[in-house]
Chains A and B, each alone.
Chain A
Amino acid sequence: DIQMTQSPASLSASVGDTVTITCRASQAISNSLAWYQQKPGKAPNLLLYAVSGLQSGVPSRFSGSGSGTDYTLTITSLQPEDCATYYCQQYYDTPALTFGGGTTVEIK
């Protein structure tokens, strides 16, 4: 299975900051990457697919980039409601879908 490694595991930032989360795959995944946001006690929510495709209803302050094995999620102008855990997920190696370990974003 393809291993997905996220960094950092957690971060703390202020409202209005730009935050970047990194996801590295153990092999190239040809842009088959999605990002999810999960708030405590809730189901995850799809943010981005195919690296940079914004899911309907997701604010434009969320963006994605990357290629090959390295991908990033950027939150521009962090808002209080962005306090959550973020997961990357690869769907290149189907059917063995895998998630990253998660990055918890806290507001200072």
Chain B
Amino acid sequence: QVQLVQSGAEVRKPGASVKVSCQASGYAFTNYGIHWVRQAPGQGLEWMGWISAYNGNTNYAQRIQGRVTMTTDTSTNTAYMDLRGLKSDDTAVYFCARDPSRLGPTIFDYWGQGTLVTVSS
């Protein structure tokens, strides 16, 4: 069965960076895309960006472009999200999610369990 397993909770100081991983199993990793979506405490869902595991193409939300990098390692079926210049309002649960398309962002059909990133001095 399709599974996305994310790395554990992180605590960072303002200005630092964090890298969250998402290991996929149960499907052909390079046939799909991976999104990153975050949810601040008590808030709704915010799309951060997408990467094609097929060709490495990326699209990032304008709000965080310049601070985020998404990558994949096809040898380990793992996606990564690196967020730099952390601010207190980056405190959120970060989810990875699979996209059934490998060519462009569409929908999210399977989700990871979420990774809490806390930014605090």
Contacts and interface: CB of A to CB of B under 8 A. Distances in A.
Interface string A47-79: 001000001000000000000000000000000
Interface in A1-25: 1
B14 interface: no
B61 interface: yes
A96 B62 contact: yes
Interface residues of B, number: 24
Chain A, interface size category, equals 20 to 34
Interface string A83-101: 0000101010011111111
A99 B46 contact: yes
Given A45-B111, A94-B59, A99 B106 contact: no
A10 to B, nearest CB: 13
B111 A44 contact: yes
B95 A43 contact: yes
Contacts of B46: 99
B91 to A, nearest CB: 16
